[in-house]
Amino acid sequence: MDETKLLSGKVVSENINETTIKQIEFLKSKNVNPGLVVVLVGDDPASAIYVRSKGRMCERMGIVSETITLAADTKEQYLLDLIDKLNKDDRYNGILVQLPLPDQIDEAKVIDRINPLKDVDCFHPKNVGLLTIGSPYLLPCTPAGIIEILKYYKIDPAGQDVVVIGRSNIVGKPIANILIQKAAHANATVSIVHSRTKDLKKYTQNADIIIAGIGVAEFVKADMVKNGAVIIDVGINRVSDPSAKKGYRVKGDVAFDEVADKASFITPVPGGVGLMTISMLMHNTIKAAARQHNIILDSE
């Protein structure tokens, strides 16, 4: 594997984190202590690991952080009432309710209840609308991380044929909306393909950039990719492996070993987009804090 092909999320996230730490210091000089609260409902192992990672990053950066853990059988109204309280709590500039939620809770109601100014995930309908018309203040964390990787490695999507595999509200739809805008680091021609697409391979074989977020381990094979394509792998899938220390290995949505030989650039899993997601969450929390206190940050 040619190391020069790797799009390292570790390198880019460390660069973003350095800027965020300076912004935190600047806010604190203005007597603003940025805060993030995360609500975790239930005991999903993957969600718990992710939430702990967020807490550690907050601690490292000096962001006030709290995790509120609720039982899996929590009533919907209880969670909605809790969000109302957090909306009014000035200690927290960002509110994040970890998804997925248990079946008895309507995710749409919960997302809609969060104050859009504190919605650091950018899932609230108001923030989705602003993104769609090209006027967002914050960007959803994972798509924002993808854009930062492309920027850092000077990969300009303008005029490029981009295929997004997956149509989720978390990755597929927002990254497509970002890339089609008439703006810097955008101006791409974007196709979204998914489980109902006829001849999906026809699209991917002609793509200059492929963004895989379908949630299927090693879905993208070498015969789906043209020579020289840029591959962004968003997938994080646990694949059983008795020989591994933990009993599983983490695989992306791309068959890395075979696709890497054809790609001009490719993100690894782990070590790629996943690291960027938490860095962009910290970045969004700081931007939200600045906005709520009418402070302009140097990067704006």
Residue 102 tokens read as 């248990």
Residue 131 has pLDDT above 70, yes or no: yes
Residue 1 has pLDDT above 70, yes or no: no
The span from the CA of 145 to the CA of 174, in Å, is: 12
- DSSP letters for 31-81: T---EEEEEEES--HHHHHHHHHHHHHHHHHT-EEEEEEE-TT--HHHHHH
Residue with tokens 């690894």: 268
> Each residue of 32-58: pLDDT tens digit?
999 999 999 998 877 888 889 999 999
The span from the CA of 284 to the CA of 6, in Å, is: 26
Q: Among 23, 54, 119, 251, which one carries the catalytic annotation? A: 54
Intrachain domains 27-117+275-300 and 141-269 with the same fold: yes
pLDDT band at 167 (very low <50, low <70, confident <90, very high): very high
> Each residue of 214-231: pLDDT tens digit?
999 999 999 999 999 999
The span from the CA of 121 to the CA of 140, in Å, is: 5
Question: What is the dotted CATH code of the domain comprising 141-269?
Answer: 3.40.50.720
Q: What is the pLDDT of residue 300?
A: 59
Instruction: Indicate if 121 belongs to the active site.
Output: yes
For the chain, give every domain's residue range: 27-117+275-300, 141-269
Q: Among 98, 119, 160, 173, which one carries the catalytic annotation? A: 98
Q: What is the pLDDT of residue 299?
A: 63
Q: How many residues does the chain have?
A: 300
> Each residue of 253-279: pLDDT tens digit?
999 999 999 999 999 999 999 999 999
Instruction: Indicate if 54 belongs to the active site.
Output: yes
User: Which residues make Cβ contacts (< 8 Å) with residue 146, sequence separation at least 6?
Assistant: 175, 211, 232, 234, 273, 276
Under DSSP, is residue 162 helix (H, G, I), strand (E, B) or coil? strand
> Looking at this protein, which amino acid is placed at residue 15?
N
Q: Among 23, 119, 121, 251, which one carries the catalytic annotation? A: 121
Architecture of domain 27-117+275-300: 3-Layer(aba) Sandwich (3.40)
The rounded percent of the chain whose pLDDT value lies above 70 is 99
